[in-house]
C-alpha cells in the first residue's frame, strides 16, 4: 500500500490519475501550501490497515496491545445521563 502526497493544484489537474492510484490501493494526502489538509483513501480499508497507516504517518503511537479499561471521568447524580446534561446545557 503506497502513500502519495500531492498539492491541491496538481490534484485538480491530474484528478483522474490520482483516483486510479487510489483504486489500486494507494492513499493520497492532499496539501495546501505544503500543509496536509486531507486524505483520499480506498473504500473498505480494514481498521488494522488504517491504524498501521496512522502509526506510519506519525499521527498515533500504539503498541498493538489491547487498551485497558478506565474508570469514567464524569459521574452524574440521580437518573440523568451525561447526554441529558449536555443537551440541557445546549438549550
Task: Give the CATH number for residue 9.
Answer: 3.40.1620.10
pLDDT value at residue 37: 95
pLDDT value at residue 35: 94
Residue 62, pLDDT > 90, answer no
Considering the domain boundaries, does residue 68 fall inside one?
no
Q: How many residues does the chain have?
A: 91
Considering the domain boundaries, does residue 67 fall inside one?
no
Q: Give the mean pLDDT of 46-69.
A: 83
Considering the domain boundaries, does residue 55 fall inside one?
yes
pLDDT value at residue 1: 60
Residue 20, pLDDT > 90, answer yes
Considering the domain boundaries, does residue 10 fall inside one?
yes
pLDDT value at residue 59: 87
The answer to whether the predicted template modeling score (pTM) of the entire model surpasses 0.85 is: no
Q: Give the mean pLDDT of 53-80.
A: 82
Q: How far is CA 37 from CA 10, 57, 64, 70, 74, in A?
A: 14, 14, 27, 32, 33
Which domain range does residue 2 map to?
Answer: 1-61
Question: Hunting for cell 485538480 — which residue is that?
Answer: 12
**Contacts of 78 by beta carbon, 8 Å cutoff, 6+ apart:** none
Considering the domain boundaries, does residue 79 fall inside one?
no
Considering the domain boundaries, does residue 7 fall inside one?
yes
Considering the domain boundaries, does residue 71 fall inside one?
no
Report whether 7 contacts 35 (CB < 8 A): no
**Domains identified in the chain, total number:** 1
Residue 29, pLDDT > 90, answer yes
Report whether 14 contacts 40 (CB < 8 A): no
Torsional sign, CA 9, 12, 16, 20: positive
**What's the order of all strands across the beta sheet hosting 35-40?**
3-7, 27-32, 35-40
Considering the domain boundaries, does residue 45 fall inside one?
yes
pLDDT value at residue 54: 86
Amino acid at each position: 500500500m503506497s502513500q502519495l502526497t500531492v498539492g491541491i493544484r496538481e490534484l485538480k489537474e491530474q484528478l483522474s490519475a490520482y483516483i486510479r492510484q487510489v483504486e489500486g490501493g494507494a492513499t493520497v494526502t492532499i496539501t495546501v501550501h505544503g500543509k496536509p489538509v486531507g486524505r483520499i483513501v480506498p473504500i473498505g480499508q480494514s481498521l488494522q490497515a488504517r491504524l498501521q497507516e496512522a502509526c506510519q504517518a506519525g499521527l498515533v503511537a500504539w503498541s498493538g496491545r489491547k487498551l485497558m479499561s478506565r474508570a469514567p471521568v464524569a459521574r452524574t447524580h440521580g437518573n440523568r445521563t451525561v447526554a441529558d446534561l449536555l443537551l440541557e446545557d445546549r438549550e
